Every structure is written in structure tokens, then in C-alpha cells.
Amino acid sequence: MRVDRFLSNLPRFNRKQVRLLLVEKRVRVDGTIVSDPHAEVLEFSRVEVDDEVLQLGKPARYFMLHKPPGCVSATRDPQHPTVLDLIHEPDKNDLHIAGRLDFNTTGLMLITNDGSWSRRLTQPQTKLPKVYYVETEQDITADYAITFAKGLYFAFEDLITQPAELVVLGAKSARLSIVEGRYHQVKRMFGHFDNKVLRLHRERMGPLLLDDALKPGEYRPLSVEEIRLI
């Protein structure tokens, strides 16, 4: 948000007052004096007028977690352990999940307090692939890949899924890449062939791969380079 708009949205300042504050160089964003009304104020920016803090600003935080089975992709649940129960960080209630996984689905989860970053990661418009390793009850035949590439009709949402790429690894195992995150999407896609998914593991989201060193239930902060990839 532009700094002039940020200040004008506060009940204490009108537009004329905001212009004067900027001209008189009384506004600081992240410690730097700002006079340009187009200067950007981010969700995590510290904003001050004179010596008064108007927005405290918090550091953006980003974590990669290896989700184990039997864990809910939620911040709170009265019956089951949640993903956030595995995170041992201060102010962890400020964090949210970027791309949920089903109860018994395992693999890569990304957890952050940066809403703009997580939206870029999960919105279908960005077309970032989500890659899953899949094991099924019955054999996976060649027509699965053809059908998935064309898209499947989901009656509940009244839509056709985006083209997905399937690579068959064995008689009952495959790697599936999708760019959406519909409700139980992978299981429903294989359900089109009456084939039950027995194991589902997310390996990658966009350019971010699950760290092989992370055991189920473990997590680590993302590096600066990893954060910038999204």
C-alpha cells in the first residue's frame, strides 16, 4: 500500500495533513525518512510519525515442515494434533499454512506469516506445480495420463481441472503434478478410475523441494534464496 494511502486510512489524518507530514519529512518507514507519497508500506513495515509508532512491524517468517500422517492441517483442532503443534517458535499463532494437506497425506508444508507470499504460492493463477508421489490400490494404466492431461470434470465445483502431468513409476505408483489445490483433488482424480489412493506424499511446491534431511514432524526456516524463489 502507498504510504499516503496508509496514513489517510487512519482516522487521525486527512489528506492535507498527510501531504504536510511527508513534505516536512516527519514520516519514517523501516527507519528511513519518506517524503514520496508513492513509497510502499508493506505488511511487515514499521511506520512512524515523529517519534510515534503507527505500525509496529514484525519480521516475516517462513518455514518448511515435513508433515507426518495423522496430523491436521489447521491451527487448532479439539481432537487431533495440528501442524502448528509441531512448530516450536514464539508467536506461532501469527503463522498460517500455505497449501493444506489431508489428515494422512505426508510431505512438504510451507508455513508463514506473510499472506502475500503464501497467496503467490497457492493461487491457481500462478500455475506453480504441486508434485505428489502416489501409491494406489490397483494398477495405473496409460490412459490415466491422457485423461489427467485433458482435465477432469468435477461436478461439485462445476469445473474442469487444469491439465495435470502424470508419470507412471511402477504398476501402482506414479508422480503427479497439478497446479490447483481442489478439495481432495488427487484422490478424486484417481477415483475417476475407481482406483483408491493408498499413499500420498507431497514432494514439491513450485521450485521448493522437501528437504531430504527433514524427518516427519521436523521443520526448518527457509533460506533467503528459497523465499525469493516464490
**Tens digit of each residue's pLDDT (9 = 90 or more) over 177-207:** 999 988 899 999 999 999 999 999 999 999 9
The whole-model pTM stands at: 0.78
Say which of 50, 102, 114, 211 is annotated catalytic.
102
22 neighbors 15 (Cβ within 8 angstroms): no
Proportion of the chain above pLDDT 70, given as a percent: 100
Domains of the chain: 3-55 (3.10.290.10), 62-224 (3.30.2350.10)
Residue 220 to residue 141: CA distance in whole angstroms: 38
Name the CA radius of gyration of the chain, rounded: 22
113-126 tens-digit pLDDT: 888 888 888 887 78
CB 204 within 8 A of CB 130: yes
DSSP 139-158: ---HHHHHHHHH--EETTTT
Does residue 77 carry a catalytic annotation?
Answer: no
pLDDT over 90 (residue 221) = yes
